[in-house]
C-alpha cells in the first residue's frame, strides 16, 4: 500500500525514530521533462507490430494457391460436358425402336392367311365336298337343297393317329383329326346335325410358299361353283386363314365374325378353328354363338 507523505510528515517520522523507505516524490516538472524527452510507452509496440506486418508477406503467396485452385475449378466442368453431349444423341434410338415396334405387323392376327402371292384366295384350292354324317337319313322329302357347307383348313402335317384316336363311323367325317375332330363333332351334335341329311364339309388347301402362282386361279370361282351345285342354306367357315381365303379380305377374325357375309348369295358365318379352341377354351362360348347363328339361317325366318 502506497503512503502519500509530504516532507513534514517524513520529518516527524524520522524524529520519532521511524525510518520510511519510500521513493522520493517526483516533482511535476520532472514528470513533464520525462514525458517530453522520452519516447512514449505506447509508441514502442509500433516497431513490434511492424515486424509482424513484415512476417505477413507470405500471405501474398496465397494468391498463387488461389490461382492454382481456380484453373482446377475451371477444368472441372470440362469432363462433365462430354457425358451430357453423349446422353442427348442416345435418347432418339429408343424412340425410333419403339415407333418401329408400334408399327410392326402382328403376324398371328394380321397376316397369316394371304396366299403366297399376297392376295387372299390366290393359290388356294378346294376339295370335293363330302357328307359329314353319311349315316344320317338321306331319303327325306325336299332334301335336294339346303343344309350346311362347312369350310375348313386341315393341318399341313397331320399327326399319326392310332386306331383308338381315329373318328368312329358315326362321328363327323371331316378333314380334321384327333381332338379337333372330336370337338367339332360334339358342337355339331349339340345342334342335332347328326340327324340332318345335308351337312357337307370341304377342305381348303393353300399352296406352298415356293409355288409358282403366275397362272394360279383364285379360290372364289371354284367355291361359287360348288355352292351353285349344293345350294346350302348356310356356309360355316372355320378359322382365320379359311375366312380370308373365301372372302378375299385381310381383316382380323374378330371383324370377320362380327360382320354378315354372303358368298354367291348364301349366308356365311365365320367362327374359330377347332384347333384354336383347344388352345383357347375361353373362346368356345363365342364359337357356340356363331354356330347358333348359322343354324338360324338353315331354319328360315
Give the whole-angstrom CA distance, residue 219 versus residue 205. Answer: 10
Is there a contact between 244 and 216 (Cβ–Cβ < 8 Å)?
A: no
Query: Residue 19 above 60 pLDDT?
Result: yes
Query: Residue 45 above 70 pLDDT?
Result: no
- What does the pLDDT look like over 87-98, one tens digit per residue? 554 544 444 444
Q: What pLDDT is stored for residue 116 in this prediction?
A: 47
Alpha-carbon 143 to chain mean position:
56
Query: Residue 66 above 60 pLDDT?
Result: no
Over residues 158-182, the mean pLDDT reads 76
Is there a contact between 192 and 148 (Cβ–Cβ < 8 Å)?
A: no
Element (H, E) at 266: strand 266-271
261 C-beta neighbours (distance < 10 Å), count: 17
Q: What pLDDT is stored for residue 227 in this prediction?
A: 95
Q: What pLDDT is stored for residue 96 in this prediction?
A: 42
If one looks up domain 124-299 in CATH, what number appears? 3.40.470
278 C-beta neighbours (distance < 10 Å), count: 14
Annotated domain spans of the chain = 124-299
pTM: 0.59
Over residues 76-105, the mean pLDDT reads 47
Question: Which residues fall within 8 angstroms of residue 18, CB to CB, at 6 or more apart?
Answer: none
- Name the more confident of 29 and 222: 222
Amino acid at each position: 500500500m502506497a503512503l502519500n507523505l509530504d516532507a513534514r510528515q517524513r520529518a516527524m517520522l524520522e524524529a520519532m525514530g521511524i525510518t520510511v523507505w519510500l521513493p522520493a516524490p517526483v516533482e511535476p516538472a520532472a514528470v513533464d521533462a520525462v514525458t517530453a524527452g522520452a519516447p512514449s510507452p505506447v509508441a514502442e509496440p509500433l516497431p513490434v507490430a511492424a515486424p509482424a506486418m513484415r512476417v505477413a508477406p507470405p500471405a501474398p503467396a496465397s494468391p498463387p494457391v488461389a490461382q492454382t485452385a481456380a484453373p482446377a475449378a475451371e477444368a472441372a466442368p470440362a469432363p462433365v460436358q462430354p457425358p451430357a453431349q453423349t446422353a442427348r444423341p442416345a435418347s432418339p434410338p429408343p424412340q425410333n425402336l419403339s415407333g418401329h415396334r408400334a408399327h410392326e405387323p402382328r403376324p398371328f392376327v394380321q397376316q397369316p392367311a394371304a396366299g403366297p402371292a399376297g392376295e387372299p384366295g390366290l393359290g388356294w384350292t378346294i376339295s370335293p365336298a363330302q357328307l359329314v354324317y353319311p349315316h344320317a337319313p338321306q331319303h327325306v322329302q325336299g332334301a335336294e337343297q339346303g343344309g350346311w357347307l362347312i369350310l375348313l383348313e386341315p393341318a399341313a402335317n397331320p399327326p399319326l393317329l392310332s386306331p383308338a384316336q381315329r373318328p368312329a363311323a358315326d362321328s363327323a367325317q371331316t378333314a380334321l383329326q384327333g381332338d379337333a375332330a372330336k370337338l367339332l363333332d360334339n358342337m355339331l351334335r349339340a345342334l342335332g346335325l347328326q340327324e340332318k341329311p345335308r351337312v357337307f364339309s370341304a377342305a381348303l388347301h393353300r399352296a406352298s410358299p415356293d409355288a409358282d402362282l403366275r397362272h394360279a386361279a383364285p379360290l372364289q370361282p371354284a367355291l361359287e361353283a360348288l355352292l351353285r351345285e349344293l345350294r346350302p342354306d348356310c356356309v360355316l367357315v372355320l378359322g382365320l386363314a379359311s375366312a380370308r381365303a373365301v372372302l378375299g379380305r385381310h381383316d382380323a377374325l374378330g371383324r370377320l365374325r362380327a360382320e354378315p357375309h354372303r358368298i354367291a348369295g348364301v349366308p356365311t358365318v365365320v367362327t374359330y378353328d377347332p384347333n384354336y379352341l383347344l388352345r383357347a377354351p375361353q373362346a368356345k362360348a363365342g364359337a357356340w354363338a356363331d354356330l347358333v347363328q348359322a343354324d338360324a339361317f338353315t331354319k328360315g325366318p
